[in-house]
Structure 1
Amino acid sequence: MSSTVCCVSPSDREMILSVLDDAGYDASVLVEDPRFFNTAALLVTKLFLAGVDSRSGLAAKLEYQLGKAGRHRQPGTSTLPRYAIQGLPLELQSQLREQQ
């Protein structure tokens, strides 16, 4: 199995971090919701490694995919998409039957 090792230079790393910071994905987001920050960082890094090497291009794709970070943005906590795929758990099915 072969693997390709890509190196990101320190200046490129600083550019990626500044794109994240400008979009609001800074240390406060990292502390509040590490998964949200990690998703944004992974997206920008993958885009960079795929050839998007301009700040404006990275910023535009980040905003298109995830939007700007901020206190108004709440991570999704709904379990409804899961239930749409797996079906309702038995407890919820019985509660619905009792309500009808």
Structure 2
Amino acid sequence: MSFIDNISPSDLEMIRAVLDDAGYDANLLVEDQRLFNTAALLVTKLFLSGVGSRSELAAKLACQLGKAGKHRQSCRSSLSRYAIQGLPLELQSRPRLQ
């Protein structure tokens, strides 16, 4: 028995709508099946873990994967990378000479 069997048709339609609104639609499925499947699995797992509202699902999808398309942007920042590697030279403040 698949976990999909535990989701009602109306809930599946909501999940599909969240994916479509973020650009994860049939066109993307043809272009990049792996990305589409990743997004579909993420939203489905979030739903099954208790995230039930369409807006919450959309926000979490946007944060994790961003909008689908050429100009995808995620809400993840580079700050965690900088915490490990240090700031690049152009972002470091230079001591003032007096």
TM-score, with structure 2 as normaliser: 0.67
Bigger relative contact order, structure 1 or 2 (CA pairs below 8 A, ≥6 apart)? 1
SS at match of 2:6: coil
In structure 1, list runs of 5 or more residues that go unmatched.
Answer: 74-100
Q: Classify 1:51/1:27 alpha carbon distance in 2 versus 1 (closer, same or farther; 3 Å).
A: same
Match of 1:70? 69
Match of 1:51? 50
Match of 2:9? 10
SS at match of 2:14: helix
Identity of paired residues, percent? 73
Distance across 2 between alignment mates of 1:27 and 1:44? 16
Distance across 1 between alignment mates of 2:52 and 2:71? 29
1:72 is displaced (CA, Å) by: 3.1
Please identify runs of 4+ aligned residues in structure 1 that moved more than 3 A.
3-6
**RMSD value over aligned CA atoms?**
1.8
Match of 1:25? 24
TM-score, with structure 1 as normaliser: 0.66
In the alignment of these two chains, the number of paired residues is 71
SS at match of 2:7: coil
Q: What per-residue deviation string (whole Å, max 9, x for no partner) do you get for residues 35-55 of structure 1?
A: 000000000000000000000
